[in-house]
Structure 1
Amino acid sequence: MRRGVRVAQLNGALSSIALKNIFFENTSRGYYSIVPHLSRMASGDPDNLKNRTLFTRPRCDARKNTGNEDVDDPDDIFSSPEHFARRPSTIDDEHRLEKLLKEVLAYRDTNVSSWIVESKVKILCSAYRYLLKPHKDGFLKVLACEHSVDHQMVCKAAKSLVGAQQEECDKFQVIKGEERLKNLLTPQYSWLFIHMGRLEKGVKFLVDLRTDVLTLLSELDVKDPSALPLQQLNLTLKEMLSLWFSVGFLNLERVTWKSPCEMLQKISEYEAVHPVRSWTDLKRRVGPYRRCFVYTHSSMPDEPLVVLHTALSDEIASSMKGIVSAASRMSMDTSAFPSMSGDPVVEDPNNIKAAIFYSISSTQKGLQGIELGNYLIKRVVRELQAEFPLVTKFSSLSPIPTFRSWLMDKIKAAEKGQTDILLDKEIEDLQAYLKTDNLWAELKRLFKTNGWISDIDLIRMMETPLMRLCARYLYLEKRRGYALDSVANFHLRNGAVMWRLNWQANLTPRGLDNSCGIMVNYRYFLEETERNSRAYLEKQHIATSDQIQKLAGAANALMKVTSKI
């Protein structure tokens, strides 16, 4: 072998690990080496350590080889990612990575071999992954501030282009000037992102990179000098990912109990609306009278991007208990079919008349702002119509995540005399029942501890005011003209109707903490969705049912009385 070439010494115990030879350029010595490329387990990635294993199942191992890492010259700190796994990163590591970044970007306008560029970008990605958060933040600030657009060059090119037009130069010169200006207006890191996206697992790396950018932006003061460049970096990543994650490039998959164990594990971990309690619970959610669909991308085949859980029923459920009980209520009598006698629940397609979307979760923060959920709902509707022709009713059973938080703020305002949220009769009745002179303090305590839910009489007294206040929150409270509640805004943008508020629909601790147990149905009348969506987006008009209108009207009347006082 050529002088200077080093071959990593492999232990015989590693013979079962997949090996792949790659070339890389050793930046410190200026020669090329051939080294083994070792597959590593996804759980070895520090970024994945937070993904807990909720459940175990004897029939499979939730962990598998899912990615590759480069093993470079052991003398080079960036050559072996395992180096970072053994110790925390330092500010020196951050500076070395910034130096490598400059070196990689210097290849932009050269004819250097793509092998060299690829190997350098691989090392850059591997080293970044093992940085601690403070060092990642510092690197991102350097990337955004020092490797974006050269504004002086842009101004110079723009003046040159204007001069060429004024001098009536030939079209060829003008077009060349426009191309040069376009290239200068493209941030330098766009070229880097394109090369990162070409790597194996590179698209996932960019999704995670945008997650880091969004987290950093949420922590920065708006006056921070790096805030604006980071916003531009975020926008560049978003536009690039929007193209790569266009709905035409996504794959629809139905998840069942026979799906790969890794997919089932991730479905349980990513569930954001109704946490999965056990494997039995998960099995029910992908079993009879349920449908679980996910969107995946060819560059991230093992990662569900957005997950939609659907319940099949004979009517639109008004509570989570209603969804659970529907399966047993509609199941077929299998006594006449000996081959089915072992199945506790067997679907009867003739009983299925409604589909209820009770949970939709976006799993990748790095894809925030890229519309995937609305396309998934539309696609699932078509799939269900094809499978169950009798299904004519489509609705969500949605949480109201921040209603209780909003309610606590209104109680504090009412305590200060700034607003009225209860009628005089309601105040008198509650004060008498609770035997208190400070009603607002007592209400804050009851809602904070959920102590009211164990008192039947108090539940009855709370129903009318809470339902009225919830209608006010959903229908009247706005942000820039649109619904304040994020879930409401999502469904209304899709063309749904704010159809029904449901009392005591979710009495789990999370349901009580989020919305005092109230849930809402957003009904999808397929022939009206396009018109409703346009009315909401263009005129901020919310399509509602009579129930919502009546409750919101009562809340609005109380608000007007307060404003007059």
Structure 2
Amino acid sequence: MDKKKKATNGNLKQVEEVLKAFLGLEKDDAPFDELFQKIKLLYDSMKGIEKEELFKAIIEQLEVRKEEIEPFIDALLKCDQDDPKWPVLLAELRNRSYSPRMKLFQKVSRSPGGLKFLLDFRGDLLSVRRYSELNLDPLDLDIIFLFEMWFQEGFLYLEEITFDSAYTQIELIKNRDLVHPMASIEEMGQRIGRDRRCFALYHRLLPYEPIIFIEVALTEGLAKNISEVMPEAGGEKESRRVDTAIFYSINSTQNGLAGLGLGKILIGKVVDYIRKEDEKIKNFATLSPVPGFWNTYLKPLLEGRDETFILKHTGIISYFSKKAAEDILDRVGGGKYEPDQLNAALLNILSDEAWAQDEALKKDLKSPLVNIAYHYIANEKNPQNKPLNPVANFHIGNGATVSAKNVNFLANPSSRGLQESCGIMVNYIYTSSWLSQIRRSFRLFDRIEIKGLFTR
């Protein structure tokens, strides 16, 4: 309710100014550059609540009116489909019902800085949608339609980041890695080389900023621990029988491109390139974190907050043998072998990172945590019936497979790994048939240029 009040009493004057400038862009003789610069300046200074009001106003005021299309609908309904007028009337209706928002966004996208503005605009739209009660889909779908035209075929190119790449690009990727953050540029240097690779997907209108990038470790067999893929200071790891490419960090730099499938394209192009470069590499998989497993899933379950989950707090005990449960209860001073007391003991133990150094506790916790984590990534769904975990949603949505044997216990025992996912990491497997499926899905996949790749 407070949020609604703030939205009503916010800086509506600023919203009106931005909307007026947007409406001004419709005029053919409008000073486009001047108006667009005004929009950017005002928009960048707006708060989230004001942006919500702006999105609402754009949807309501930049829309086709009923009276504008009603005569054409009536004429079409009265026309027989075999009549020569049918395609003419249909084309006219399509033209008349074309979104006024789309026309403006197309103008904006063709101006210097326009595409980047729209990327940030949609990123804000997605952020607002998480809490807003408004239906913002009409605006979002218009921008998605535009992006699907801009982010395809000749506009995109893949580039490998090497020691020969511009320092600014290496530094940018170092600063944008949120999966495994880096403290120094030297650490980024350890992630590029013969068996540590980095690839980035660029758009020709945004050549100084990759839209998404991926870090790859070439290994012998499937890496199941972060220590197997994260490079150590002092040089590359030696492996004479490299046969697997592990994707261990994938980062999008543009929130506004969420849901457009560019991650799938990036992985597909990298798989295609690596297979052609080295025929011995036949296996492709990730070593991925499980963000939210502890704070937004297991911890709430142990506290009894299970309303939105398939697994209930009373079901946690079923993952433990009676002996393991009794051992855990003994660690906190004893208790009955029943759900609430075991959950309280687990909450106490897992809230302290010291458990990861205790061999007996690790033995008791390994199988239950692995199986609960697998249930989380494979079975728990969001309101759209997609995997609740965002990383699982990304890779499973891309076509990767996962099984319980791909869930790795204490694969990342760092403080961050324990707080994020009780140290668990997952291998999502990209099978041999996956690339051919990608080719069928993206008609122009093979026409995405690969630049800056050096023969090794």
TM-score grouping bracket, smaller chain normalisation: 0.7 to 0.9
**Secondary structure of 1:302's aligned partner:** coil
2:366 aligned partner? 463
Verify the 8 A CA contact 1:312 1:352 in the aligned structure 2: yes
Q: Give, in whole Å, the separation in 2 of the partners of 1:237 and 1:433.
A: 55
Task: Summarize the Cα distance change of 1:385–1:129 in structure 2 as closer, same or farther, 3 Å threshold.
Answer: same
1:418 partner amino acid: T
Task: Summarize the Cα distance change of 1:320–1:426 in structure 2 as closer, same or farther, 3 Å threshold.
Answer: same
Tell me the matched-pair count.
415
1:210 aligned partner? 122
Task: Summarize the Cα distance change of 1:170–1:356 in structure 2 as closer, same or farther, 3 Å threshold.
Answer: closer
Equivalent of 1:187 in 96, 99, 108: 99
Verify the 8 A CA contact 1:497 1:523 in the aligned structure 2: yes
Equivalent of 1:104 in 25, 29, 32: 25
Equivalent of 1:407 in 275, 298, 305: 298
Cα drift, residue 358 of structure 1:
0.7
Task: Summarize the Cα distance change of 1:243–1:402 in structure 2 as closer, same or farther, 3 Å threshold.
Answer: same
2:407 aligned partner? 501
Cα drift, residue 367 of structure 1:
0.6
1:62 aligned partner? none
Task: Summarize the Cα distance change of 1:92–1:175 in structure 2 as closer, same or farther, 3 Å threshold.
Answer: same
1:177 aligned partner? 89
2:216 aligned partner? 310
Cα drift, residue 189 of structure 1:
1.3
**Secondary structure of 2:267's aligned partner:** helix
Task: Summarize the Cα distance change of 1:293–1:441 in structure 2 as closer, same or farther, 3 Å threshold.
Answer: same
- Structure 1, residues 457-497: CA drift from partner, whole Å, max 9, x if none? 22222112212222222334345665443323333343433
Verify the 8 A CA contact 1:207 1:367 in the aligned structure 2: yes
Verify the 8 A CA contact 1:414 1:440 in the aligned structure 2: no
Verify the 8 A CA contact 2:268 2:438 in the aligned structure 1: no
Task: Summarize the Cα distance change of 1:528–1:125 in structure 2 as closer, same or farther, 3 Å threshold.
Answer: closer
Specify the structure having the higher radius of gyration (Cα): 1
1:538 aligned partner? none
1:501 partner amino acid: V
Verify the 8 A CA contact 1:157 1:177 in the aligned structure 2: yes
- TM, length-normalised to structure 2: 0.81
1:445 corresponds to 2:348: yes
1:428 corresponds to 2:326: yes
- Structure 1, residues 362-387: CA drift from partner, whole Å, max 9, x if none? 22110111001111111111211232
2:315 aligned partner? 419
1:435 partner amino acid: G
1:159 aligned partner? 74
Q: Pairwise CA RMSD of aligned residues?
A: 3.1
1:140 partner amino acid: F
Task: Summarize the Cα distance change of 1:236–1:458 in structure 2 as closer, same or farther, 3 Å threshold.
Answer: same
Verify the 8 A CA contact 1:250 1:296 in the aligned structure 2: yes
Segment of structure 1 superposing worse, 499-508 or 304-313 = 499-508
Q: Give, in whole Å, the separation in 2 of the partners of 1:491 and 1:242.
A: 20
2:451 aligned partner? none
Verify the 8 A CA contact 1:354 1:391 in the aligned structure 2: yes
Q: Give, in whole Å, the separation in 2 of the partners of 1:185 and 1:211.
A: 26
1:271 corresponds to 2:189: no
Cα drift, residue 240 of structure 1:
0.8
1:141 aligned partner? 56
- Structure 1, residues 255-289: CA drift from partner, whole Å, max 9, x if none? 12332233223212321211112222211112342
Q: Give, in whole Å, the separation in 1 of the partners of 2:415 and 2:241.
A: 32
2:445 aligned partner? none
1:219 aligned partner? 131
Larger RCO (CA under 8 A, 6+ residues apart): 2
Q: Give, in whole Å, the separation in 2 of the partners of 1:450 and 1:348.
A: 32
Cα drift, residue 116 of structure 1:
3.5
Task: Summarize the Cα distance change of 1:247–1:270 in structure 2 as closer, same or farther, 3 Å threshold.
Answer: farther
2:447 aligned partner? none
Q: Give, in whole Å, the separation in 2 of the partners of 1:433 and 1:219.
A: 41
Verify the 8 A CA contact 2:304 2:313 in the aligned structure 1: yes
Q: Give, in whole Å, the separation in 2 of the partners of 1:502 and 1:352.
A: 21
Verify the 8 A CA contact 1:356 1:397 in the aligned structure 2: yes
Identity of aligned residues (%): 28
1:263 partner amino acid: Q
2:245 aligned partner? 355
- TM, length-normalised to structure 1: 0.67
Cα drift, residue 307 of structure 1:
1.0
**Secondary structure of 1:304's aligned partner:** coil
Equivalent of 1:477 in 380, 383, 392: 380
1:356 partner amino acid: I
- Structure 1, residues 197-219: CA drift from partner, whole Å, max 9, x if none? 11111111111111121122222
Cα drift, residue 122 of structure 1:
4.1
1:487 corresponds to 2:391: yes
Equivalent of 2:192 in 286, 289, 297: 286
Q: Give, in whole Å, the separation in 1 of the partners of 2:428 and 2:325.
A: 32
- Structure 1, residues 300-320: CA drift from partner, whole Å, max 9, x if none? 111211111000122321111
1:149 partner amino acid: V
**Secondary structure of 1:196's aligned partner:** helix
Verify the 8 A CA contact 2:316 2:343 in the aligned structure 1: no
Q: Give, in whole Å, the separation in 2 of the partners of 1:301 and 1:313.
A: 31
Cα drift, residue 251 of structure 1:
0.8
Q: Give, in whole Å, the separation in 2 of the partners of 1:349 and 1:417.
A: 45
Task: Summarize the Cα distance change of 1:234–1:129 in structure 2 as closer, same or farther, 3 Å threshold.
Answer: same
Residue ranges of structure 2 left out of the alignment (5+ in a row): 1-9, 307-311, 336-340, 441-456
Q: Give, in whole Å, the separation in 1 of the partners of 2:269 and 2:346.
A: 44
2:446 aligned partner? none
Verify the 8 A CA contact 1:150 1:184 in the aligned structure 2: no
Verify the 8 A CA contact 2:400 2:431 in the aligned structure 1: yes
2:108 aligned partner? 196
Segment of structure 1 superposing worse, 189-198 or 268-277 = 268-277
1:257 aligned partner? 163
1:387 aligned partner? 277
Equivalent of 1:321 in 199, 220, 227: 227
2:46 partner amino acid: L
Verify the 8 A CA contact 2:190 2:235 in the aligned structure 1: no
Q: Give, in whole Å, the separation in 1 of the partners of 2:322 and 2:290.
A: 27
Cα drift, residue 512 of structure 1:
1.0
1:233 corresponds to 2:139: yes
**Secondary structure of 1:293's aligned partner:** strand
Task: Summarize the Cα distance change of 1:379–1:281 in structure 2 as closer, same or farther, 3 Å threshold.
Answer: same
Cα drift, residue 119 of structure 1:
4.2
Verify the 8 A CA contact 1:496 1:529 in the aligned structure 2: no
**Secondary structure of 1:356's aligned partner:** strand
Cα drift, residue 118 of structure 1:
4.6
